Structure 1
Amino acid sequence: MEVLAFGVQADEKPLIEKAFAGRHQVHCTEVFLTRDTAPMAAGYEAISTSVNARLDADVLQTLAVGGTAMIAQRSTGFNNIDLPVAERLGLTVARVSYYSPYSVAEFAWALAMAVNRRVVRAANRTRDFDFRLDGLMGRDLRGRTAGVVGTGKIGEAFTRIAHGFGMRLLGWDLAPNPACTALGMEYVAKDELLAAADLVSLHVPLVPDTHHLLDATGLRAMKDDAILVNSSRGGLIDSGALVGELRKGRFLGVGLDVYEAEAGLFFLDKSVEGIDDDTLARLVTFPNVLVTSHQAYYTEDAVDQIAETTARNIEDYAAGRRSENVLVPAAPAG
């Protein structure tokens, strides 16, 4: 079977080709799947998409008309796919339900440490041979409180690192993670966590119940000098409300690897044409905010696992097998 993989970054292409070798022939394109590019999939029974593709009803309809029957998304999240429409059209949809949780957890800590110790500002200064320390003071994390919102695999990995720093651990989730409890984590209500934490890190999926989990009220509940990190999904934070709080001079630092309107921006070079997203443009101007373009997962280890699972998902589809990665099963024969 020939497979078309959309939105493939240069670094991940060899890993995807390696994973598909001996299984199916994969054609990689850096073009992202959109309404305009969906006709490129015509004739391909299976395609693979990236997390920033927008698979709405129009895109799915175009794919189905063109002969596509299987969509293998290279991510854990799937909030970008209209699953009821996919099911109605008889499209099989699969995701990567697991990859290295350490990739995201470690990057979340990279963001936290960078904004706490003003690493970007310091690096920019020294490039100009400005070696002053004014405005670069951070603070020790040992003895302070880490609030982990979502304690699944990634949240647990983040918690283990926080424990290594010697931090007090607060958690919020639907159910406690025994591994986090064993590290001394105390599970509390979300509002209590936000009010007490010196560092808040988000590790929950984006579903209707978690959209704008941190809205204006939640952000106001946080300490004025707290650090906020989001390496999960942009829609967890009300970006406009965050700008409002930052304009008041709040928060020691904010590290964002995701943004709620990142589709069509992240993974692309907009340095020449610029962007028309006023909220994101304002966010990156704050000296205590660090924005990266959804790269927390982007390690050789994690991408290798993602590519391998994606190839296996398509192999399972071709063989008529169903795994835990399938979100929408194949339409019944006849």
Structure 2
Amino acid sequence: MKALIYSTKEFEKASLQNANQQKHDITITGKPLNMDTVKMAEGFDVVVLFTNDDASEPVLRALNDLGVKYVATRSVGVDHINLKVAAELGIRVANVPHYSPNSVAEHTVALMMALNRKLIMADTKAHNYQFDLSSLIGFDMYQKTVGIIGLGTIGKVVADILKGFGCKLLVFDKYAEEADDYEGVTFVTLNELLATSDIITLHAPLTEETKYMITKEQIDKMKTGVMLINTSRGGLVKTEDVLQGLRDGKIGYLGLDVYENERGIFFKNHFETEGRDELLTDLLNFNNVIITGHQAFLTQEALTNIADKTIQNLDEWQLGTPEECNAKVGKIHPLEELQ
């Protein structure tokens, strides 16, 4: 198949080329898919996207006019693709239903530990040859209550890691099987999780149901000084309300790998003279906030898994007609975690 791969980063190229083995005629571009770049897809059977590409209705209609009949995304999440319009146009959509869940789960716990033990501040102080410890007090993870919202593949790995710390684990996920099928966690209502957790970590997809599932209303129910972690999708939290929670001291620690306005910001460097996102800049001014640029997935194992499954989707499309082909979006429940 002839495929145009948008938003390709240098670190992805080798994995994609190794997975392809010259089976498909692939063209790689670092440009994102949007209305300005959609014309690049003329003459291609497939476009391959990443999380911050724009596959909204106007873009999909433009792709359809160009003859593109397949859209593959190098992610589990499909919130950047208008699936209803794609189905209407007969455009087949495929994602990567699973890839190394350890990559995201380990990054999630790394954010917890870095915030707890104030590692960024400690490193900065050490580089300035300052070794006073008074501002670096953390807490034991042992016996702390961690609330996990979304017990999908990644959420379960997070739970397994935290079991090793001796944490008490609460779970809210109305689509997951009950605790009898997954030992060491207690299933609770969202309100109970919010009210009793010392740490809350989000592992849900971004859907109409989960959009802004964390707002001032939910933050007000949390413990004062709570740690909030989001390595899933930025739109799960209303960032303005989180910022106010930080200012009020209600949120004591914030770790983000995703940001609701990250499109056009993450995945590239910016010059000092460029306009800055005011909300993101305000968050970065807090020393109890750590933000990473959507890198939780970024391990060699995950890159290999993503590339292999992406090429496999092209293989399946090539072997069958659109109606017969197996490549499709993996089953997604509203509270199954995605990356």
**TM-score with structure 1 length normalisation?**
0.94
Q: Is the contact between residue 116 and residue 252 of structure 1 (CA under 8 Å) also seen in structure 2?
A: no
Q: Is the contact between residue 112 and residue 229 of structure 2 (CA under 8 Å) also seen in structure 1?
A: yes
Q: Report the counterpart of residue 69 of structure 2 in structure 1.
A: 69
Distance (whole Å) between structure 1 residues aligned to residue 210 and residue 66 of structure 2: 35
Query: By how many angstroms is 1:246 displaced?
Result: 0.7
Distance (whole Å) between structure 1 residues aligned to residue 286 and residue 226 of structure 2: 15
Secondary structure, counterpart of 2:296 in structure 1? coil
Distance (whole Å) between structure 1 residues aligned to residue 326 and residue 180 of structure 2: 28
Output one character per residue of 1:187-219: Cα deviation in whole Å (capped at 9) or x when no partner. 111011011111111011111111111111111
Q: Is the contact between residue 159 and residue 180 of structure 1 (CA under 8 Å) also seen in structure 2?
A: no
Q: Report the counterpart of residue 229 of structure 1 in structure 2.
A: 229
Distance (whole Å) between structure 2 residues aligned to residue 17 and residue 178 of structure 1: 42
- The aligned amino acid for 1:323 is N
CA distance change for structure 1 residues 180 and 129 in 2, over 3 Å: closer, same or farther? Answer: farther
Does 2:21 align with 1:18?
no
Q: Is the contact between residue 152 and residue 176 of structure 2 (CA under 8 Å) also seen in structure 1?
A: no
Distance (whole Å) between structure 1 residues aligned to residue 181 and residue 121 of structure 2: 37
Does 2:338 align with 1:325?
no
Q: Is the contact between residue 316 and residue 327 of structure 2 (CA under 8 Å) also seen in structure 1?
A: no
CA distance change for structure 1 residues 163 and 265 in 2, over 3 Å: closer, same or farther? Answer: same
Q: Is the contact between residue 242 and residue 251 of structure 2 (CA under 8 Å) also seen in structure 1?
A: no
Distance (whole Å) between structure 1 residues aligned to residue 165 and residue 67 of structure 2: 53
Q: Report the counterpart of residue 219 of structure 1 in structure 2.
A: 219
**1:94-105 pair list within 5 angstroms:** 94-105=94-105
Distance (whole Å) between structure 1 residues aligned to residue 213 and residue 240 of structure 2: 13
Distance (whole Å) between structure 2 residues aligned to residue 119 and residue 271 of structure 1: 27
Distance (whole Å) between structure 2 residues aligned to residue 126 and residue 180 of structure 1: 47
Q: Is the contact between residue 156 and residue 180 of structure 1 (CA under 8 Å) also seen in structure 2?
A: no
Q: Report the counterpart of residue 170 of structure 2 in structure 1.
A: 170
Distance (whole Å) between structure 2 residues aligned to residue 9 and residue 89 of structure 1: 29
Distance (whole Å) between structure 2 residues aligned to residue 182 and residue 65 of structure 1: 48
Output one character per residue of 1:273-305: Cα deviation in whole Å (capped at 9) or x when no partner. 434422111111111111111111111111111
Distance (whole Å) between structure 2 residues aligned to residue 222 and residue 202 of structure 1: 14
Output one character per residue of 1:201-248: Cα deviation in whole Å (capped at 9) or x when no partner. 101111111111111111111111211100011111010100111111
Q: Is the contact between residue 105 and residue 158 of structure 1 (CA under 8 Å) also seen in structure 2?
A: yes
Q: Report the counterpart of residue 332 of structure 1 in structure 2.
A: none
Distance (whole Å) between structure 2 residues aligned to residue 256 and residue 16 of structure 1: 28
Query: By how many angstroms is 1:179 displaced?
Result: 7.0
Q: Report the counterpart of residue 52 of structure 1 in structure 2.
A: 52
- The aligned amino acid for 2:194 is L
Query: By how many angstroms is 1:15 displaced?
Result: 0.2
- The aligned amino acid for 2:299 is T
Q: Report the counterpart of residue 154 of structure 2 in structure 1.
A: 154
Q: Is the contact between residue 316 and residue 322 of structure 1 (CA under 8 Å) also seen in structure 2?
A: yes
Output one character per residue of 1:245-286: Cα deviation in whole Å (capped at 9) or x when no partner. 111123231100001111111112123343442211111111
Output one character per residue of 1:159-193: Cα deviation in whole Å (capped at 9) or x when no partner. 00111100111110014445786432111110110
Does 2:204 align with 1:204?
yes
CA distance change for structure 1 residues 91 and 176 in 2, over 3 Å: closer, same or farther? Answer: closer
Q: Is the contact between residue 176 and residue 187 of structure 1 (CA under 8 Å) also seen in structure 2?
A: no
**1:107-256 pair list within 5 angstroms:** 107-177=107-177, 182-256=182-256
Could you list the runs of 5+ residues in structure 1 that have no partner in the other structure? Answer: 328-334
Q: Report the counterpart of residue 330 of structure 1 in structure 2.
A: none
Query: By how many angstroms is 1:325 displaced?
Result: 3.1
CA distance change for structure 1 residues 180 and 72 in 2, over 3 Å: closer, same or farther? Answer: farther
Alignment coverage as a number of residue pairs: 328
Q: Report the counterpart of residue 333 of structure 2 in structure 1.
A: none
Identity of aligned residues (%): 35
RMSD, aligned α-carbons:
1.7
Q: Is the contact between residue 54 and residue 263 of structure 1 (CA under 8 Å) also seen in structure 2?
A: no
Distance (whole Å) between structure 1 residues aligned to residue 138 and residue 196 of structure 2: 19
Distance (whole Å) between structure 2 residues aligned to residue 204 and residue 255 of structure 1: 16
CA distance change for structure 1 residues 68 and 176 in 2, over 3 Å: closer, same or farther? Answer: closer
- The aligned amino acid for 2:205 is P
Distance (whole Å) between structure 1 residues aligned to residue 286 and residue 116 of structure 2: 14
Secondary structure, counterpart of 1:133 in structure 2? coil
Distance (whole Å) between structure 1 residues aligned to residue 64 and residue 21 of structure 2: 26
